[in-house]
Structure 1
Amino acid sequence: MARLSHRHDTTWPATQDRRPGFRVFRLLWRTQNTTRAFSSNTSNGMNTMKQTVDFRFAPDARRAQQLDQEMRSELAGSIRYLRDACLGQIDFDNPALSRIADELDNGALYSAKTFSIYYDLVLAITTDQHEEAAKLFASLAKEQPLSRKLITGLDDSVGGEIYASRMMESMPEGITLASPSGQVQRQFTENFQAASQLLKAGLPELAGELEAIIHEVVCVTGGPHDRGQFHGGSHYQLWGALFLNGGLHATRLEMAEVIAHESAHSLLFGFCTQENLVRNPDEELFPSPLRSDPRPMDGIFHATFVSARMHWAMKSLVDSGLLSAEEIAAAQDAAAIDARNFRDGFCTIAAHGDLSHHGRELIENAHDYIQRAA
């Protein structure tokens, strides 16, 4: 699903599976009467998340690197299975797919576009659209790893229209994404770099986490006739990409806050390769303290955890000694709102949430932090 950033979180229900892992493909695999887990067959011998990743609340750059690599190794294993399952039935470039899978296992950073093509390919295969699957296999075979982290406008991004359509497919009617003007993009890049320097100096673990899981920052704007405003977002089928409105977040503190917000959403996506964090069905809606409309528990969980992360970022920047007096006042005000939003959201989760073991650990650790700090 697309995640739209705002102080009162504006996340929207997913139209399909709500987690970023490979659940759709796991279901396909089960029809082949196999019980092998994806992460048990990566060529680099990575252990499963339960063995390697902890669920502490504070940012952890090394853990983020593990999550990022696990997501890429999951994709590698899935590509290999698609290759083997479709051999002789659908035309594709076998050596190219093998190369991509091997490079993913060895740490190559493929773009969010690669993940998007994969999800479309699985859908085409599972619905017997073999001609479309052949086209998507061909597109996947052409993918190349990124050479560096990218900060681009929407039109200049690796994914372009693919990114726009993927993000907008689950956004509410009346909100669109457009490419920014050159001036807006230049100012956005300056603000993003200033905020990144602030985070590196004051919050190095959060900066490291961002560096580990975000590889494409895409500057966008809204459409001229939109009935709402897009602040920022991410999508579980676009792993590694972050979309931010270049016309907003005008100061380094505002930009640092939205970075903390969106990187936390992406982090939660990364925790989902082994199991859902939330088991409540998306059709089950609850009153949300962070939104005026009823929300699925997954959206409330995300918004609540992210509120705690934003509080951590604002409080830690205040304590860093790097902010001006005006910035300190703004950060303290923001942190107070974040703490209130977290407590309200946590009450809803405690009353109605059906959480997995991972989900429980994450939200309880966030609660422990707020109890100590706020």
Structure 2
Amino acid sequence: MFAFQPDPDRGRRLDREVRADFAASLATVLAAVAEQGGIDAATADRIVAALDEDRAAPGLIVAYAGLVEAIFGDRPDQVEACVAALVAAARPAPEVGIRFATLDDATLGAGQAERYRGLFDDDPASPLAIAPLDPDALDRARALGAAGLDLLDRGVPELAGEVRAILREIVFARGTPAPGEETFQGASTFLAWGAVLLNATEQPDRVALAESLAHETGHSILSGFSRGAPLVANADAERHASPLRTDPRPLDGIVHATYVLARMHYCLDRLIASGVLTADEQAKATAARADRRRAFAAGLGVVDAHARLTEIGRSAFEPARAYMAGLPG
């Protein structure tokens, strides 16, 4: 289960296990809501059953997270809104493959854009300045998303299979940072399992898009292993230099970043060897691969010096170390 090599079967197994855990928790929460007359038992059963289906919409888990927050916040209006969002998300989706959306209710469902935003933008110390795409920009992002997935299918099929096993939804947005602020590249969160957020303006081509999917689904896999728990015993307030960010980050984020750099290297290495890239793409990917290796080494130095890995954290991280250590030269 913890092997570094991407594996579609591993992805499907992990996805089933995570959704089963969410479904069990959701059933308990909805039973409590039903006792208060907020939902009937048949509808609750239908929602839980939808989460057990292979192509369950990430919006189900996003609305579930909102429902839990509304209950603990004693917000009956939000409880009602989240139940409605769960009902809507439980309807069968017309899309067969990965759905492309943006950060608005028109593509995510009534009230869902703000819930997605709150889950992806979950670090008050480093808030994301993000906005939805306009229709033309979303069309371009969809075309690029399809091209990036096709490139993975042809160049790194084992990674493509794992990505497709985990992802249901790519949510595109654009960065709106103030002058001098760092723009975001992408984001993932356990409480939006099956979805990733990508900054469309930071995806210049299909190779970058493919690498971003390797990156963000790497975070998803780690979160799936730990069920959203930290991979380190270090306090969240402890901050160190990150290989992917200019601002100091918690150790858990640095372990994640270092792991996904190995996954990005793997993606680029396999694409370079596949013969599917153009000459220009090959040159850029080769330079990027060297950058990922240097950044991994920087992250590894911080991890080894400061991180107190949990048992799951060590089991997940060590195979990435072994992959990078085994590279030639």
**The two structures share one fold, judged by TM-score above 0.5:** yes
Band the TM-score falls in, shorter-chain normalisation: 0.7 to 0.9
Residue 151 (structure 1) aligned with residue 107 (structure 2): no
- Bigger CA drift: 355-364 or 84-93? 84-93
The amino acid that maps onto 1:103 is A
Residue 178 (structure 1) aligned with residue 131 (structure 2): yes
Aligned to 1:123: 69
Deviation at 1:169, TM superposition (A): 4.8
> CA offsets, 1:26-67, max 9 Å, x none?
xxxxxxxxxxxxxxxxxxxxxxxxxxxx10001111111111
Aligned to 2:209: 255
Residue 113 (structure 1) aligned with residue 62 (structure 2): no
The amino acid that maps onto 1:228 is E
C-alpha distance in 2 between matches for 1:237 and 1:70: 14
Aligned to 1:3: none
Aligned to 1:70: 17
> 3-state SS of the aligned residue for 2:89?
coil
> CA offsets, 1:300-354, max 9 Å, x none?
0110000000111111111112222222221111111111111221122122212
C-alpha distance in 2 between matches for 1:369 and 1:94: 49
Aligned to 2:268: 314
Aligned to 1:43: none
Stretches of structure 2 that go unaligned for 5 or more consecutive residues are: none
Aligned to 2:51: 104
Pairing 1:285-300 to 2, within 5 Å after superposition = 285-300=239-254
Classify 1:270/1:147 alpha carbon distance in 2 versus 1 (closer, same or farther; 3 Å): farther
Q: Which of 329, 332, 347 pairs up with 2:283? A: 329
Residue 88 (structure 1) aligned with residue 88 (structure 2): no
Aligned to 1:338: 292
Aligned to 1:361: 315
> 3-state SS of the aligned residue for 2:192?
coil
Residue 302 (structure 1) aligned with residue 256 (structure 2): yes
State the percentage of identical aligned residues: 35
Q: Which of 201, 207, 210 pairs up with 2:163? A: 210
Classify 1:180/1:100 alpha carbon distance in 2 versus 1 (closer, same or farther; 3 Å): same
Stretches of structure 1 that go unaligned for 5 or more consecutive residues are: 1-53
Confirm or deny: 8 A CA contact 1:93 1:138 kept in the other structure. Answer: no
Deviation at 1:89, TM superposition (A): 3.7
The amino acid that maps onto 2:10 is R
Confirm or deny: 8 A CA contact 2:59 2:86 kept in the other structure. Answer: no
Deviation at 1:165, TM superposition (A): 3.9
Classify 1:208/1:337 alpha carbon distance in 2 versus 1 (closer, same or farther; 3 Å): same
C-alpha distance in 2 between matches for 1:198 and 1:146: 25
Classify 1:234/1:177 alpha carbon distance in 2 versus 1 (closer, same or farther; 3 Å): same
> CA offsets, 1:79-119, max 9 Å, x none?
221233455345322211111212323x2433222212212
C-alpha distance in 2 between matches for 1:132 and 1:188: 32
The amino acid that maps onto 2:43 is A
Aligned to 2:238: 284
Classify 1:218/1:275 alpha carbon distance in 2 versus 1 (closer, same or farther; 3 Å): closer
Deviation at 1:171, TM superposition (A): 6.2
C-alpha distance in 1 between matches for 2:80 and 2:298: 48
The amino acid that maps onto 2:101 is T
Higher relative CO (Cα under 8 Å, sequence separation at least 6) belongs to 1
Confirm or deny: 8 A CA contact 2:168 2:194 kept in the other structure. Answer: yes
C-alpha distance in 2 between matches for 1:176 and 1:170: 12
